[in-house]
Amino acid sequence: MQEERRLAVLRAIVEDYVATEEPVGSKALVERHGLGVSPATVRNDMAVLEDEGYITQPHTSAGRVPTDKGYRLFVDRLTTVKPMSVAEKRAVSTFLDGAVDLDDVVQRSVRVLSQLTRQVAVVQYPTLSRSTVRHVELVALAPRRLLAVLILSTGRVEQRLVDLEADLDDDVLADLRLRVNQTATGQVIAEAVTALRGLGEQPPTSPLAVYAAPVVDALADAMSDHRSDERIAVGGAANLARYGDSFDSAVRPLLEALEEHVVLLKLLGEATAGGMVTVRIGAEGPYEQLAATSVVATGYGPQDDALATLGVVGPTRMDYPGTMTAVRAVARYVSRILDEA
């Protein structure tokens, strides 16, 4: 019974603190939220909550502030799902529907997500590893040079220049193109790579011998290029300006992290499929520097097959329910769009 009220108090503290950005005291609490008890009672509860490590006071005789542990409890047990307004929903769908290609989808997602949450948004480009090969095109550019274009099921296009050791013959090229496509098209990346390796090893007598190897190498390179796994779009950095206080301690490391895409990827973490939103609060993450920032992320991809991750990075003091629904919603819309394409 009292336990329940204590949780209500914690929730109220979190909500107030997130809204006002100021330590919240017992009196203000009972006034703003309609808990039907006196400030003194709340004070007792707060003392217990503090003992248990859910809240702290910045200094004696100040209000209370939630700790990471407090936010954690709040997110895990006290969050009520906050549906998006119709206007917001429409905004998301119309904005994302206007996208013309994969790049554009990602860009727009970042934008919409950062505006929705008024936070820094991060969207990882769909990873290669899970996608399949839609088509491979080989284009002769010069007698001894061709361009290999790799088109993936996600709509991503990778291209590589290939230098050859013998002049190109159109027929051989056509043959090679045909074989490569027969081998790779429809395959998942990983399988396509191994299948192509086989193709690359032609008997020296075959007319394909001089061409196959470099082309296969280039394609395999493009497929296993980890650089493209690390591609990320970031947006809404201007929202960092709202931090105001705690600039050096919070914004600087975050700005640095935003440039280090590797760090960002680690922050976003594993893609979690199926509408599950992951929340990492403050020091739970691997970077001390970012002890004051939280990450709200989820996986996305066609058929809820988590190809990549998108999310939001912000101060631990953030509107978790709102952010979580926004992240979930955008992930869902993007997934649907990838489905259609």
Partner DNA sequence: CATTGGCACTCACCACGACGGAGTGCCAGA
Partner DNA sequence: TCTGGCACTCCGTCGTGGTGAGTGCCAATG
Residues that bind a second copy (CB under 8 A): 100-101, 104, 134-135, 137, 139, 141, 147, 149, 151, 157, 159, 227, 235-238, 240-241, 247-248, 251-252, 255-256, 258-259
Residue of 173, 219, 225 whose CA lies nearest to 200: 219
Which part of the chain contacts DNA (CB under 7 A), choosing from 46-54, 85-93, 175-183, 298-306? 46-54
Choice from 11, 12, 23, 320 touching DNA (CB under 7 A) = 23
28 binds DNA (CB under 7 A): yes
Residue 79 binds to DNA (criterion: CB under 7 A): no
Q: Which stretch binds DNA (CB under 7 A): 18-26, 274-282, 314-322, 330-338?
A: 18-26
Q: State how far the Cα of 150 lies from the Cα of 157, in Å rounded to an integer.
A: 6
What distance in Å separates the CA atoms of residue 237 and residue 231, rounded to the nearest whole number? 17
What is the 3-class SS of 120-178, one letter each residue? EEEEECCCCCCCEEEEEEEEEEECCEEEEEEEECCCCEEEEEEECCCCCCHHHHHHHHH
Is 303 among the residues that bind DNA (CB under 7 A)?
A: no
Cβ 137 to a second copy shortest distance, Å: 5
DSSP class per residue in 42-75: HHHHHHHHHHTTSEE-SSTTS-BEE-HHHHHHII
The smaller minimum CB distance to DNA, of residues 41 and 224, is found at 41
Residue 279, classed as helix, strand or coil, is strand
Per the CB < 8 A criterion, the answer to whether 330 and 312 are in contact is no
Q: CB nearer to a second copy: give 35 or 95.
A: 95
Determine if 244 is a binding residue for DNA (CB under 7 A): no
Contact between 190 and DNA (CB under 7 A)? no
DSSP assigned state of 239: G
Which one of DNA, a second copy, none is in contact with 31 (Cβ closer than 5 to 8 A by kind)?
none
Q: Does 265 bind DNA (CB under 7 A)?
A: no
Residue 122 carries which side chain, given as an amino acid letter? V
DSSP designation for 24: B
Determine, following the binding rule CB under 7 A, whether residue 62 of this chain makes contact with DNA.
Answer: yes
Between residues 186 and 321, which has the closer beta carbon with respect to a second copy? 186
